[in-house]
Structures are given as C-alpha cells and as structure tokens.
C-alpha cells in the first residue's frame, strides 16, 4: 500500500524520543540502526548530539520509522553554489543533517513510501527551524552504502544531489544534499 501524507498525519504521529518513550521491538534490516535506537539514541539526545524523531502508528503504538537530526554545515564548490543561486564568497553553508534514518521491516512490507515521508518530515522541521530559530539551507545525509548500495537511489529519488567536496573520500558513505527551498 502507498503511504500518503494524509495517512502519515492521521493514522501515524511524529514524536520526539525522550527518556521514557516506549520503543517496542523496532527492527530494520541493519542491526547497527536497531542498536542505535534501543541503546544510544536517548543518551545522544540527553548529550545534545542528536535529536531522534519516531513515526508511531496510533492504533498499535508500534514504531514504523525513526530519524535522528543534527546541525550541519557543508562546503560547496563555486559551481555548486551557482547551481543553488548562492552568491557568497564563503564555501560553508548551514544545513540540517539526517544522521540516522530507518524504516521497520514490518512496516516496509506493508507500505511503500515511509522513508520518503520521513524525509519530507525532516524538510518540514528544517523549514520551521528556518522560520523561527536558525538558518539551514540544505538537508544533508551521509548515505550509508556499506550496508546497501540502493540507498543512493533512494536519496536521489527524494531530490538529493552528490556533494563534490566529500564524494569519494570515504567509500562507506556518500555525502549528499537537498536544497530546502528549490
């Protein structure tokens, strides 16, 4: 079944993880991401190094997906800045990074589009941040191709571009950006 924005805001809710949030048995195919949610995410929140958002199904209380967001900055080349109409002498542009993103296997089998819905939710959060608190022009991600090369296609389908500055430096992840205002 296709996961729509309406479904996401009616049958599901996006909530922030905190110390007493029930996590149930969330499981995605990558063990590292499961361990992060169950063992590290609360500490990271308490230490102010990553804020985790959960997508919870209202009827069952189960977690369909999670993402962790952090502040970021990326270096863009002259041609990359031109691409985004950023006419500034400096290279570094503020951003918000999706540091972790995972969809539960059970929910991925039920719905297509939960990962894309999470990216859209990150975009909404980043734009709110721009409106009220502090500036961030891009959503960024280090696409984890170590576990699954397909994630590159997933992010490209969601409008992310490769960053030339960090591309190829580390073959386990690929740095990407998505303009929040284009």
Ligand X SMILES: CC(C)(COP(=O)(O)OP(=O)(O)OC[C@H]1O[C@@H](n2cnc3c(N)ncnc32)[C@H](O)[C@@H]1OP(=O)(O)O)[C@@H](O)C(=O)NCCC(=O)NCCS
Binding site for ligand X (CB under 6 A): 28-30, 33, 101-103, 108, 112-116, 141, 143-144, 147-148, 150-151, 153-154, 157
Q: What are phi and psi of 94, to 5 degrees?
A: -70, 150
Cα–Cα distance, 161 to 159 (Å, whole number)? 7
Question: Strand 63-75 and strand 12-16: pairing?
Answer: unpaired
Q: How far is the CB of 142 from ligand X (least distance, A)?
A: 7
Cα distance between residue 1 and residue 113, in whole Å: 9
Task: Evaluate whether 37 touches 55 at the Cβ level (below 8 Å).
Answer: no
- Residue number of the CB closest to ligand X reads 150
In the complex with ligand X, the residue whose CB is nearer, 74 or 143, is: 143
Closest distance to ligand X from the beta carbon of 103 (Å)? 4
Edge-to-edge strand list for the sheet holding 92-103:
12-16, 51-57, 63-75, 92-103, 138-144, 173-179, 161-162
Run of H or E including 26? none
Residue nearer to ligand X on the CB measure, 45 or 160: 160
Nearest distance from C-beta of residue 177 to ligand X, angstroms: 14
In the complex with ligand X, which residue's Cβ is closer, 33 or 45? Answer: 33
What is the chain's Cα-based Rg? 16
Rounded to a whole number of angstroms, the minimum distance from the CB of residue 67 to ligand X is 9
Q: Which is nearer to ligand X, 37 or 136 (CB)?
A: 37
Q: Which is nearer to ligand X, 99 or 136 (CB)?
A: 99
Give min distance, CB of 180 to ligand X, in A: 18
């Amino acid at each position: 079944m296709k996961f729509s924005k309406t479904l996401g805001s009616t049958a599901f809710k996006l909530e922030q993880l905190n110390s007493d949030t029930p996590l149930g048995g969330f499981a995605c195919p990558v063990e590292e991401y499961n361990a992060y949610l169950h063992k590290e995410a609360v500490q990271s929140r308490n230490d102010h190094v990553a804020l985790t958002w959960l997508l919870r199904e209202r009827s069952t209380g189960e977690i369909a997906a999670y993402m962790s967001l952090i502040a970021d900055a990326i270096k863009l080349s002259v041609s990359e800045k031109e691409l985004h109409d950023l006419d500034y002498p400096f290279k570094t542009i503020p951003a918000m990074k999706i540091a972790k993103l995972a969809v539960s296997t059970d929910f991925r089998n039920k719905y297509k589009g939960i990962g894309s819905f999470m990216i859209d939710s990150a975009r909404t959060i980043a734009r709110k941040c721009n409106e009220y608190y502090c500036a961030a022009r891009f959503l960024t991600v280090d696409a984890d191709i170590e576990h699954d090369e397909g994630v590159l296609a997933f992010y490209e389908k969601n409008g992310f571009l490769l960053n030339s500055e960090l591309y190829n430096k580390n073959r386990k992840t690929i740095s990407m950006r998505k303009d929040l205002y284009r």
